[in-house]
A and B are shown apart, each in its own frame.
Chain A
Amino acid sequence: NAGVTQTPKFRVLKTGQSMTLLCAQDMNHEYMYWYRQDPGMGLRLIHYSVGEGTTAKGEVPDGYNVSRLKKQNFLLGLESAAPSQTSVYFCASSYKRSSYEQYFGPGTRLTVT
C-alpha cells in the first residue's frame, strides 16, 4: 500500500515551459486535491475532484489545469509556467464520507526561472 505518490519530486522549468505533475493513490479514495504551499501562506487549494471525470476550481486555479480520467490518478498541468508558480505542490486524497481526513503525498518542489 503506497498511499499517495507524486512524480516528479523536483523540477526546474524556464518561464513559458509546460509540465504535468502526476498524483496516484491506491486507497480507492473518491476525492482528490491539488494544493500549493508557500512560506507564511499555508496550503492553498488549486483544484479538486470529487470523482472520476469531474474537477472543480479551488482558491487559486489560474494558470493550472487538471484532469481525472481514472479514479486513482489526478494530473496537474502548467501550460505556460511563470516564476509566481514556484512553490511546493501537494496532492491529497480522501474518502467522500470523511473528506476532512486527507492523505497527502510527499510533494513536488517546482522552481520556475
Chain B
Amino acid sequence: AQSVAQPEDQVNVAEGNPLTVKCTYSVSGNPYLFWYVQYPNRGLQFLLKYITGDNLVKGSYGFEAEFNKSQTSFHLKKPSALVSDSALYFCAVRPYSSASKIIFGSGTRLSIRP
C-alpha cells in the first residue's frame, strides 16, 4: 500500500532558525512525492514535487525538500524560518495504482515564534 507518515504533529522553531518538517513514505516503484501547505481557514496550496532527478527540489516561498531513497524520506526544509511560515504542512504521495489521485499524510503544524 502507498502511504506517507508525518511523525511530528507539531514543530516549533524560532524565527531565523532553520526548519525541518519530516516525512517518510512507503511506495511500490518510483515514488512521486509532494508537499502542500495550508494557511488558517484556507484550502491547501501546492509547494513542491519530486518525480525524478536531483534529490534536492526547490519550491515556493523559499522551501526545499530532500529526497532520500535509502531512508525513504522526503523532509521539507527552509534555511531561515519566518513567522509567516506558520501553517499546517502536508506530505503526499501518488499511488502507483492510480495516476489520478494522491494520498495525504496527517499533517504537521509548524509554529514560528518571533
Contact = CB atoms under 8 A, between A and B. Distances in A.
Interface of A: 4, 31, 33, 40-45, 48, 50, 58, 90, 92, 96, 99-107
Nearest to B33: A100
B104 A43 contact: yes
Nearest to A33: B101
A42 B9 contact: no
Contact of B43 (A4, A96, A99): A4
Interface of B: 9, 32, 34, 41-46, 49, 90, 92, 94, 99-107
A105 B100 contact: no
21 contacts: A40-B9, A40-B106, A40-B107, A42-B104, A42-B106, A43-B104, A45-B103, A48-B101, A92-B44, A99-B94, A100-B32, A100-B49, A100-B94, A101-B34, A101-B46, A102-B46, A103-B46, A104-B43, A106-B41, A106-B42, A107-B42
Contacts of A43: 44, 90, 104
